Amino acid sequence: MCVLDEAVDNSDRAVMNKKGKEPVTLSDFCNYIDISNNDFASFIEESDRRSLCLETNNMMIAIDHISTDTGQH
């Protein structure tokens, strides 16, 4: 888990700032997942691609159909 305490953009470049060194620009191949209970956790524009927002609740569901057998006996 990565806690993001600063703004994160969706560009393909990232700047790495090491204390006492010059900033270095790198290619950013990371994917991010935002999890929040706030109504306005992230800003998504209509032109943004590949974004998905799921609204869930606290109701539990039964998962009896999922096998826990690892195949090892």
Question: What tens-digit pLDDT sequence spans the chain (73 residues)?
Answer: 555 555 556 567 778 888 888 988 888 777 767 777 777 767 777 787 777 777 777 776 666 655 556 655 4
Question: Does 45 reside within a domain?
Answer: no
pTM above 0.75, yes or no: no
- Count how many domains the chain has: 1
Question: Does 10 reside within a domain?
Answer: yes
DSSP state of 38: S
Strand partners, 16: 24
- What number of other Cβ atoms are within 10 A of residue 42's Cβ? 13
Question: Does 43 reside within a domain?
Answer: no
Question: Does 48 reside within a domain?
Answer: no
- Which residue do the tokens 């195949």 mark? 71
* Domain around 15: 6-36
pLDDT the model gives residue 69: 60
Question: Does 23 reside within a domain?
Answer: yes
Question: Does 15 reside within a domain?
Answer: yes
Contacts of 20 (CB under 8 A, 6+ apart): none
Question: Does 46 reside within a domain?
Answer: no
Question: Does 14 reside within a domain?
Answer: yes
